[in-house]
């Protein structure tokens, strides 16, 4: 879900790059989209970091469960 939202925001931002914003409203929207994209990436990175910390790095934890 977060990644899909990230891709959607990225697509909308690409459209801004192709067609420069001429109005202040469009410029504000572009800025807000960039902020949302950054917040989303921060959330994704925190989730990935938490997940990495839960996984044993040397496989020893997996052998104990293989029994």
Tokens of 40: 């989303």
Decide if 15 is inside a domain: yes
Identify whether 18 is part of a domain.
Answer: yes
Task: Let me know if residue 63 belongs to a domain.
Answer: no
Confidence of residue 13 (pLDDT cuts 50, 70, 90): confident
Q: How far is CA 59 from the centre of its chain?
A: 28
Share of the chain above pLDDT 90, in %: 37
pLDDT-derived band at 25, boundaries 50, 70, 90: confident
Angle between helices 2-18 and 24-54 (to 10 degrees): 150
Q: Per-residue pLDDT for 38 more than 90?
A: yes
- Is 30 contained in some domain? yes
Task: Compute how many other C-beta atoms are within 10 angstroms of the C-beta atom of residue 34.
Answer: 13
In a domain, 61, yes or no: no
**Separation CA 43–CA 9 (nearest Å):** 15
Cα dist from 13 to 8, 32, 56, whole Å: 9, 10, 38
């Amino acid at each position: 879900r977060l990644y899909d939202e990230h891709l959607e925001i990225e697509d909308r931002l690409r459209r801004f790059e192709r067609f420069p914003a001429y109005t202040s409203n469009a410029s504000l929207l572009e800025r807000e989209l960039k902020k949302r994209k950054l917040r989303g990436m921060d959330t994704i990175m925190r989730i990935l970091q938490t997940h990495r910390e839960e996984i044993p790095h040397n496989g020893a934890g997996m052998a104990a469960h293989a029994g």
